[in-house]
Copies of this chain bind each other. A is one copy, B any other.
């Protein structure tokens, strides 16, 4: 098994933190995203979505999408507690928060960044007005997360889960949009500091 993910992207970082939390070692392969290596026919033949992270299995097949890779690694390396939740209701709440953070947070954040900076304008049409609107939606979404973290120690409730990893990478990423939590979003800020001090997170070089 090997993982194509050594690239400075938030999706790669989600998998890296997950692996570090679980203590799973998988050989890594570097992919030059900004240089367009993921756009090559060789890479596209492997990755259905043309993106990293991408997991190559021992039978030569491939799995893409960060959360699908994490779910697979969680299942083949079961431990006492799962980062996807430990009861039907807890698993549903993890899924709920994963989707809220992905669809209302990360997607808006990525669209804001890509449309405002034009970082990938060699390969996609950018619409600046949508970047502005997306950034506004990120700002409008944050009180939902703040409210949750005012009531719960972790994003999906009482236990640390993959939803915390997703939210941590999201809050880290939106610094690129000059959106900061210090001062105005105290519960997100305190939770962020707590996650940043976890040994698994400390063990990784910050990439964003």
Q: Which residues of chain A from 105 to 144 have a CB within 8 Å of any chain B CB?
A: 107, 115, 125, 127, 129-130, 133, 136, 144
Q: How many chain copies?
A: 2
Docked CA distance A64–B64 (Å): 26
The winner among A95, A136, A144 for most chain B CB atoms within 10 A is A95
Interface residues of A in 25-84 (CB under 8 A from B): 48-49, 57, 63-65, 67-69, 71-72, 75-76
Contacts A100-B49, A129-B129, A133-B127 known; A91 to B65 CB distance under 8 Å? Answer: no
Is A22 part of the contact surface with B, judged by Cβ < 8 Å? Answer: no
In the complex, are the beta carbons of A107 and B96 less than 8 A apart? no
Q: How far is the CA of A14 from the CA of B68 in the complex (A)?
A: 20
A contact face: mostly helix, strand, loop, or mixed: helix
Using a CB–CB distance below 8 Å, which chain A residues touch chain B?
Answer: 48-49, 57, 63-65, 67-69, 71-72, 75-76, 88-89, 91-93, 95-96, 99-100, 102-104, 107, 115, 125, 127, 129-130, 133, 136, 144, 148
